[in-house]
Structure 1
Amino acid sequence: MDIKSFTDPVILFVQHNAHLAPLVCGLLAFGESLAVVSLVIPASTILLALGALIASANLDFWPIAGAAALGATLGDWVSYEIAKYYKYAVFRVWPLSRNPQMVEKGSAFIQKHGIWAVFIGRFFGPFRAVVPLFAGIFTMPFIPFMIANVASAIIWAIGLLIPGLGLTWLMA
């Protein structure tokens, strides 16, 4: 199955249901930020494409970007809480169970950089899926975790949606 088979139906759905664009973007961002799920959902690609749709369908950017930021924040928060509860048992779940080097690198990254790892990890595909887990396992304090989580989610959401929006404006 190619990526187009995932992206096209979502984009078509939003074209026909523009009022649901914030909800769709929020759910995509949630899935993209939720540990493990993010590895199988091409949400970043879809969000980039939806950025172009925002301009061409004359949708309001900020509610959609806000929903995407909220979804991303919630996805990381859920991942953090799961790891806080299950601790090292999380390492027995795919993909961590099959990638001990990912566990080692993720552990070292979070221990070395602290909340900056949460912030920076949002912008790098494979790290996005596991950094919140490591933050929860190593019991990073909640408030610093959430500050980095929210700040990075806002920048990430805007950064994913603006390129398509800008290209559409340039081509108009």
Structure 2
Amino acid sequence: MDLDAIKTASLAFVEANKEWTPLVVGVLAFCESLAFLSLLVPSTVLLIGIGALMGAVGIPFWPVVLAAALGAILGDWLSYEVGRHYTDATKRLWPMSRYPDMVARGEDFCRRWGAMGVAVGRFFGPARAVVPLIAGAFGVARMPFQVANVLSALVWAFAMLAPGAGLFTYFRG
């Protein structure tokens, strides 16, 4: 199945089952934020499409934003805990083992920015799911990590869904 078919089927499902939108979006945000799984699931495209669909068909905005934030928080938290548990062994896991330069840059980034790097990293494509893993592996403390995780997830969820929902609502009305 290609990306367009997945996108079309997912958006059709959400449109036909509006009450499931928060759950669908929460799962997509979790997949988008979980190390390695984010490489396999086209969540960004789907989240932006669902944002547009929300505005077009009247799906309530805030419950979906909160579900997206919760999914992102849980995905980053799990990635962080995996990194914390496996520490240096994370460098030998796929795809980290294939990109040692990226891992080295991630280590430097975490040393320099700490938990603030987690907040910033959430907004940069492929780094989004890897930064929490690296933060856990290289010793960013739990509490600062979680504060950055929660706050950035709320902003990220809003930023992913609001443009489509707002644009379609504006042009429809």
Superposition TM-score, scaled by structure 2 size:
0.96
Q: Which amino acid aligns with 1:143?
A: M
The correspondence of residues 64-79 of structure 1 with structure 2, limited to 5 A, is 64-79=64-79
Shift of 1:56: 1.6
- Equivalenced residue count is 172
1:22-171 to structure 2, matched below 5 A, reads 22-171=22-171
Q: In the aligned structure 1, how far is the partner of 2:162 from the partner of 2:49? A: 10
CA RMSD of aligned residues (A): 1.0
Partner SS for 1:125: coil
Instruction: Provide the rounded CA distance (Å) in 1 between the counterparts of 2:145 and 2:6.
Output: 32
Structure 2 residue runs without a partner (length 5+): none
Correspondence 1:8 to 2:8: yes
Structure 2 letter corresponding to 1:3: L
Which deviates more from structure 2 when the two are superposed, residues 49-58 or residues 59-68? 49-58
Contact 2:110 2:140 survives alignment (8 Å): no
User: How far apart, in 2, do the equivalents of 1:5 and 1:118 lie?
Assistant: 33
Looking at structure 2, the residues matched to 15 and 166 of structure 1 have their Cα atoms a distance apart, in angstroms, of 17
1:6 Cα offset (Å): 2.1
1:64-94 CA-to-partner distances (Å, cap 9, x unmatched) read: 0000000000000000001111111111111
Moved over 3 A (4+): none
Between stretches 81-90 and 61-70, larger displacement belongs to: 81-90
Deviations 1:82-112 (A, max 9, x none): 1111111111111111111111111111111
- How many percent identity over aligned positions? 48
1:5 Cα deviation from its structure 2 partner? 2.3
> 2:18 maps to which residue?
18
Unaligned runs of 5+ in 1: none
Structure 2 counterpart of 1:131, one-letter code? V
Query: What is the TM-score when the length of structure 1 is the normalising length?
Result: 0.96
